[in-house]
């Protein structure tokens, strides 16, 4: 019986550890690969809703519900789609850009913490990213990023093909990001919330933690059942 109690105690400690890791690693990455390659506003796609029509084109609905709403972010494929002067992205085919820097926001009503990161290509002009505590760039600015020019023609074909990862960590809870000074000059991919380092096509760590937690619980209950049958 004492051995059984020790095993149960050890299992509970492991479960608690996995839960803690899951919470600490709850980063979410948006790859922009599931929408219309010929151009579509991201809008509510990552809020479990629909994108917005661009130039009368089709709209994609039913995206993952990350609670993220985009204002002014235009998604398309590169180079075989809307962003035909862009290639070599971190997770093709989809990327985003902004046509109007006065309305270039990412809003997360539930908030996010730890960090914010992405890949970007700026062929000729740099920009600025600001992380705010309130929606639509209001409240307190928690962090800012200066985006240097990354160069052009890294693949020898398209201008926007030199990509760099960049990110920032911050204290507190953020509710919006302002993509200032990036209109029609910078493209983005693998935008990641909850991490100061962008994720490149890797499954969400929290999801992996939950899978491991489920497997651990199944094993624990099976062991307890065997013990009960043998006693």
Taking the C-alpha atoms of residue 48 and residue 34, their distance in angstroms, rounded to an integer, is: 13
pLDDT at 87: 97
Angle at 202 (CA atoms; ends 196, 206), nearest 5 degrees: 70
Q: Which residues of the chain have pLDDT under 70?
A: 1-25, 201-231
**For the segment 187-222, what is each residue's pLDDT rounded down to a tens digit?**
999 999 999 999 986 444 444 343 344 433 334 434
Are the beta carbons of 35 and 42 closer than 8 angstroms?
yes
The answer for residues whose C-beta is within 8 angstroms of residue 220's C-beta and 6 or more apart is 8, 11
pTM score of the predicted model:
0.78
Compute the CA torsion angle 179, 116, 84, 158 (nearest 10 deg): 100
* Joined tokens for residue 8: 């149960």
| Average model confidence (pLDDT) across the chain | 83
Question: Is-cis flag, bond preceding 57, omega within 30?
Answer: no
Separation in Å, CA 89 to CA 33, 67, 175, 187: 11, 25, 27, 9
Closest CA to 112 of 31, 199, 192, 51: 192
């Amino acid at each position: 019986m004492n051995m059984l109690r020790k095993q149960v105690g050890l299992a509970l400690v492991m479960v608690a550890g996995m839960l803690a890791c899951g919470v600490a690693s709850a980063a979410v990455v948006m790859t922009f690969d599931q929408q219309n390659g010929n151009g579509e506003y991201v809008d509510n796609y990552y809020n479990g809703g629909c994108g917005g029509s661009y130039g009368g084109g089709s709209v994609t609905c039913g995206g993952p519900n990350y609670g993220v709403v985009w204002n002014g972010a235009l998604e398309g494929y590169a180079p075989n789609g809307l962003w035909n002067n862009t290639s070599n992205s971190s997770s093709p085919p989809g990327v985003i850009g902004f046509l109007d820097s006065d309305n270039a926001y990412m809003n997360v009503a539930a908030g996010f913490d730890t960090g914010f990161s992405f890949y970007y290509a700026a062929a000729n002009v740099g920009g600025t990213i600001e992380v705010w505590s309130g929606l639509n760039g209001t409240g307190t600015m928690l962090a800012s990023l200066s985006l240097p020019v990354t160069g052009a023609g890294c693949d020898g074909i398209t201008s926007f093909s030199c990509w760099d990862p960049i990110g920032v960590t911050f204290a507190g809870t953020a509710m919006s990001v302002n993509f200032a000074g990036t209109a029609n000059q910078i493209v983005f991919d693998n935008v990641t919330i909850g991490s100061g380092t962008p994720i490149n096509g890797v499954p969400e760590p929290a999801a992996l933690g939950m899978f491991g937690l489920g497997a651990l619980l199944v094993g624990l209950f099976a062991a307890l059942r065997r013990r009960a049958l043998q006693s």
